[in-house]
Structure 1
């Protein structure tokens, strides 16, 4: 009840006209930034941080927080309509969102993404409100060995994405691991697979690779298979009421959103995880447990809901360790942490008692900002879906320009342009010969986290591997991994014996 009364006091602060304006401005900027490929929440918050220098701390963090979760809404737009994820968390949204667009249902994909973002974010904010400090303490229990176990569990779940061709899926997975190891070795500082190229010392960035694999390869496919271009849909009437999904689809999406909302918040709280890993894990989990799991990736609203609910809830969950412990869970949270310090605030357990107006004003503003983002995102659906009516000979050059701009904007380096082009060729030939791209990208995302935490685990234990069988959480997670890997084999043997 104490939290509830503090939350009501926070609403009195966040619902002042000025703070409402800041939340609305942050939401609009976040949606716009999210829809622009290559910018993302990290670069967006970093670029817009100077706008808050002359604001008071509460109004400033309300605006930056709105930019953060507004970006989660906007990232889905280009992923669904153009197959170019606006930010890395939207990678999994494109898996079902773009196929829905090709089926002539772009409005349904956008509607599902917006509603899943809203409800997933609301679940994350509710958990943050009532369990934030407690979950932050639990997140602190996850050291290097526990994070390695979590990532191994995630990596083992790639088998759920492989479908009917495990051999091709494993080849794609190994390719993702190899690409992720390009750059400097985290332990020795020695270059790996750079072939003397100084630009590769920092490794391959995710954003230009994703833009190439999804966006640029799609343009190549447009020219190769003109008869399957989305311009076939240009004569279809597109109205807002056509965007609403059916009751059956809504009923199927509801449990998916609930699962992704809870798991996404938990993953967002873990240090170093972030919305990208949350979207991958929740998509995989729902693909495994959903009744329509085998249809994920073919273009169903449930697949869009799984990803979008996850990344929005993770964005909310990231504030728990940030405020309660001063530990940023992602790069964007690190930018927000620098803002807090700039305003003279020290994150930690005492922040909720010494600066309660600030903390509860921020949390309450997230409820209001989430509603504002939903309203703005829903309002632009009729305008966005008109992109589908543009002929391919006009939309293709625009997509190519967006690919180049997005890849370059990731770090303002020409190397990213080359990575995007190579990624486009790679994505084109993988799709042509039916090699799945999602296992490659998941392996690419998870490998650096595994490697970094594995080094830390050995360094903190004098080179001994005993951490992996002496820590209870680590042992439990590794046991779950073993069970999940062995279960399909056991079930297959049992069915064969029964026959």
Structure 2
């Protein structure tokens, strides 16, 4: 088993170390750091905007670049959080509490170094876990039939609701709306067009990239234009990048705990970087002998969340690559990128595309090294970028989005559809409705329907097939337990507290 893993990694590094893939790994890390540094941009809208580009890229290069944007944004978000007290990324919200306090105490450089080193450690460990557990999980996944896949997707959607920040009712509504949007188009079994309202362009369904770019890209631009005046000046000097002995002593145990917690939460449906960073900060404050120091520049308050969000970002690839189930909005976008190249995400990827599977994993190690280089020596450049007004950036972003949408099918109808989703997405953001559950529902809806109907065909119409098969019944049981747990008033209160930064 160990020799097989080493052989697979040898294949992966052979793929990742080609000049083309190294270039796209660097480009992804650079873009990820950039969108992490600039408040208002994030990995979801950026990946949504860049999805059309993957049409013209080789599959491996495209996925390596998109993955680099995701975990690179976790690194970059800490720079803004520490220097300007503005989280460049949602997962960096808690980093502002102690990171900016350290900066005001004259330890900005040390805070940035702690964040980068904790992120590098967590990213490396999480990638190792991904490599170690991917093959065994894929073997288990091969035993799944249509009933098991349907039940697993039900569990995934329930998990996404439970772990979504904000109102549970709103998250459920958004998932149901996503499932309904996924039903638009031609019925797979009968070939009859449904819910197209006589519009020929809707007979093939609503393109995933159009919804993603509208709800996240266009809507994000509109939201950011309201807050464009909030960018402050970098009022602190970076100073020395070397943490002192006491800071290092307090930071490294928090980084280890954050890595473990983030790795676990990243695997869960609906988990990922955001939940991991909030949970890590809560844990560090609970177990600390001096909780009163948190919020005043405690190194553990920087190291823990930064390690957790990077570990969570990278282990969230495990359910995608082994089971074909996206755990969060970014992974849903990765599904879209894979389907663009006619690659069905799931356990068969390892067997049919081993170069892609192991090349992507190996590129994450290389990407983590690149990010340490990008985030420490180039801090001066990122500081200057923070001073660029958003009103100058947004026209270029909008033009880029529009060209990307048009290039999908070379049809102006797609641009109008994206604009409509952009307006609706903006309204949803005002109503505090998350777009991520909708995206998961849109991706999983057609897959759920297909497996549901296939299971019924195999069982000759018996609905009991989902309960008669032990694995399927266990997964549905786990989903039911999750629903019952989150319905408990005490658990619901705790859940709300987890997502509120103090």
TM-score range, shorter chain: 0.5 to 0.7
Question: Size of the alignment, in residue pairs?
Answer: 427
Contact 1:112-1:305 at 8 Å conserved across structures = yes
Distance 1:465 1:401 in 2: 49
Distance 2:114 2:446 in 1: 34
Q: In the alignment, what sits opposite 2:215?
A: 213
Distance 1:157 1:462 in 2: 30
**Higher mean C-alpha deviation, range 66-75 or range 143-152:** 66-75
Report the alpha carbon displacement of residue 391 of structure 1 after superposing the two structures with TM: 1.8
Report the alpha carbon displacement of residue 426 of structure 1 after superposing the two structures with TM: 0.9
State the SS of the aligned residue for 1:233: coil
Contact 1:149-1:478 at 8 Å conserved across structures = yes
Deviations 1:125-162 (A, max 9, x none): 4552x555433311212222112111111222344356
Distance 2:406 2:237 in 1: 33
Distance 1:48 1:26 in 2: 10
State the SS of the aligned residue for 1:151: helix
Q: Among 442, 448, 472, which residue is 1:450 paired with?
A: 448
State the SS of the aligned residue for 1:399: helix
Distance 1:250 1:416 in 2: 49
Q: In the alignment, what sits opposite 1:402?
A: 400
Unaligned stretches of 5+ in structure 1?
50-63, 83-92, 268-277, 294-299, 323-328, 339-345, 353-357
State the SS of the aligned residue for 2:57: helix
Contact 1:41-1:68 at 8 Å conserved across structures = no
**Higher mean C-alpha deviation, range 156-165 or range 142-151:** 156-165
Q: Among 66, 72, 78, which residue is 1:71 paired with?
A: 66
Distance 1:443 1:20 in 2: 36
Report the alpha carbon displacement of residue 195 of structure 1 after superposing the two structures with TM: 1.1
Q: In the alignment, what sits opposite 1:119?
A: 122
Q: In the alignment, what sits opposite 1:182?
A: 184
Deviations 1:360-385 (A, max 9, x none): 99699547634444345436665355
Report the alpha carbon displacement of residue 468 of structure 1 after superposing the two structures with TM: 0.8
Distance 2:318 2:159 in 1: 25
Q: In the alignment, what sits opposite 2:3?
A: 3
State the SS of the aligned residue for 1:405: helix
User: Which aligned pairs between 1:41-440 and structure 2 lie closer than 5 A?
Assistant: 44=54, 47-49=56-58, 65=60, 68-75=63-70, 95-96=90-91, 116=119, 119-120=122-123, 122-128=125-131, 130-161=132-163, 165-223=167-225, 225=226, 228-229=227-228, 232-234=231-233, 236=235, 255=257, 257-261=259-263, 280-282=270-272, 286=276, 292=282, 309-313=311-315, 315=317, 348=351, 366=363, 369-375=366-372, 377-378=374-375, 382-384=380-382, 386-440=384-438
Q: In the alignment, what sits opposite 2:330?
A: none
Distance 1:217 1:382 in 2: 30
Contact 2:186-2:193 at 8 Å conserved across structures = yes
Distance 2:74 2:409 in 1: 21
Distance 2:423 2:143 in 1: 43
Q: In the alignment, what sits opposite 1:477?
A: 475
State the SS of the aligned residue for 1:204: coil
**Higher mean C-alpha deviation, range 66-75 or range 111-120:** 111-120
Q: Among 479, 484, 487, which residue is 2:485 paired with?
A: 487
Distance 1:315 1:40, change over 3 A: farther
Distance 2:357 2:446 in 1: 35
Deviations 1:158-180 (A, max 9, x none): 44356664444443333333222
Distance 2:404 2:192 in 1: 30
Contact 2:118-2:252 at 8 Å conserved across structures = no
Return the TM-score normalized by structure 2.
Answer: 0.64
Report the alpha carbon displacement of residue 314 of structure 1 after superposing the two structures with TM: 5.2
Report the alpha carbon displacement of residue 470 of structure 1 after superposing the two structures with TM: 1.9
Distance 1:336 1:310, change over 3 A: farther
State the SS of the aligned residue for 1:463: coil
Distance 1:470 1:198, change over 3 A: same
State the SS of the aligned residue for 1:202: coil
Distance 1:397 1:194, change over 3 A: same
Distance 1:321 1:334, change over 3 A: farther
Distance 1:37 1:382 in 2: 26
State the SS of the aligned residue for 1:446: helix
**Higher mean C-alpha deviation, range 446-455 or range 153-162:** 153-162
Report the alpha carbon displacement of residue 191 of structure 1 after superposing the two structures with TM: 2.1
Contact 2:74-2:309 at 8 Å conserved across structures = no
Contact 1:177-1:443 at 8 Å conserved across structures = yes
